[in-house]
Amino acid sequence: GEQVEQRPPHLSVREGDSAVITCTYTDPNSYYFFWYKQEPGASLQLLMKVFSSTEINEGQGFTVLLNKKDKRLSLNLTAAHPGDSAAYFCAVINTGYQNFYFGKGTSLTVIP
């Protein structure tokens, strides 16, 4: 089955710096990719949903890159601010099954 590996598990950056979180997956049939943000004590908030045909996806303050050749999905927070401090999870869906395959999460701390 699908294996999703998310790195790093913990990340600390200074305000204004960029932060990059990466997920690799194994199933070449994976076709939808998600990034979620979870603030302390809260539920998961969808940041972006990416279809397999789109390699670069811009959000507000972040970019999601999909490299299908390397089976890698990355979330790049540009100019991080303290409000970005949270846990981030990637998730992958493949054509054969509708369940999510989640990464184990990255705890991001942005130091003022």
Partner 1 sequence: DAAVTQKPRYLIKMKGQEAEMKCIPEKGHTAVFWYQQKQSKELKFLIYFQNQQPLDQIDMVKERFSAVCPSSSLCSLGIRTCEAEDSALYLCSSSQSAANSDYTFGSGTRLLVI
Token readout for 27 is: 């199933």
Cα-trace Rg, the chain? 13
DSSP 8-class letter at 70: T
Give yes or no for residue 53 binding partner 1 (CB under 8 A): no
Torsion over CA of 17, 23, 28 and 33, rounded to 10 degrees?
-70
Nearer to partner 1, 80 or 86 (CB): 86
Distance between CA 69 and CA 67 in Å, rounded? 6
Give yes or no for residue 49 binding partner 1 (CB under 8 A): yes
Distance between CA 109 and CA 19 in Å, rounded? 10
Nearer to partner 1, 59 or 105 (CB): 105
User: Which part of the chain contacts partner 1 (CB under 8 A), choosing from 14-22, 58-66, 74-82, 85-93?
Assistant: 85-93
Shortest spacing between CB 16 and partner 1, in angstroms: 25
Chain positions contacting partner 1, by CB under 8 A:
31-32, 34, 36, 38, 40, 42-46, 49, 51, 87, 89, 91, 98-100, 102-105, 107
